[in-house]
A and B are shown apart, each in its own frame.
Chain A
Amino acid sequence: KNEVEQSPQNLTAQEGEFITINCSYSVGISALHWLQQHPGGGIVSLFMLSSGKKKHGRLIATINIQEKHSSLHITASHPRDSAVYICARETSGSRLTFGEGTQLTVNP
């Protein structure tokens, strides 16, 4: 069992739809990260969370420490949001353990 599990693995949406990607982890964390990986491989850090909720533009990330669960939401999705979204847990020593990613495709 992966230490970080994401669902769904693949997600196809129509432009404008509200999207949710889920992440569960099995052990304690110092922080939870959401990353975006584009087709060329480049990775952008979206959020770093240790509690509560963060919002940046159309992206919202939440975390429930007790339930060891985090969600990434995209409001009013757009084709340019198409990418792989990766959840990663951070433990001591700044080590990241990654989920397998969610491939999001937003169709116009």
Chain B
Amino acid sequence: GAVVSQHPSWVICKSGTSVKIECRSLDFQATTMFWYRQFPKQSLMLMATSNEGSKATYEQGVEKDKFLINHASLTLSTLTVTSAHPEDSSFYICSARDPRNYGYTFGSGTRLTVV
């Protein structure tokens, strides 16, 4: 089945630094990828939709200058958390839709801790 690879699986960074999270579709081309955030004991929330070759679409309340999304190829989308703060500590997960069966495949997630 479809595989989406997400790296890193966990990262600890200092306040004020930037962190890049990568999401790759390994066996299919993904023109669209989705980025979600999940705080402890809460449901997943869609942050943005990443579109290959064009600007990402951000959900209401998500700062596009803080969460930079780049989708430069059909198999790679990146999320950069800029000037990270402790309140950005969360679980970030990406997904893509397999065009062969329209099912969603999720990355393994990245646990970000900002200290």
CB atoms of A96 and B103 under 8 A apart: no
Contact size class for B?
20 to 34
Residue numbers in A under 8 Å from B103 (CB-CB): 45, 48
Minimum Cβ distance to chain B for residue A91 (Å)? 11
Is B115's beta carbon under 8 Å from chain A? Answer: no
Q: Which of A13-21, A36-44, A60-68, A72-80 sits within the interface?
A: A36-44
From DSSP, what is the main secondary structure of chain B's interface residues?
strand
The majority secondary structure among interface residues of chain A is: strand
Distance in Å: Cβ of B84 to nearest Cβ of chain A: 19
Give the interface size bracket for A toward B. 20 to 34
Within the complex, the shortest CB–CB distance from B102 to chain A, in Å, comes to: 7
Q: Which residues of B line the A interface, CB within 8 A?
A: 32, 34, 38, 42-46, 49, 91, 93, 95, 97, 102-106, 108-109, 111
Task: Spell out A's residues near B (CB within 8 Å).
Answer: 2, 33, 35, 40-45, 48, 86, 88, 93-101
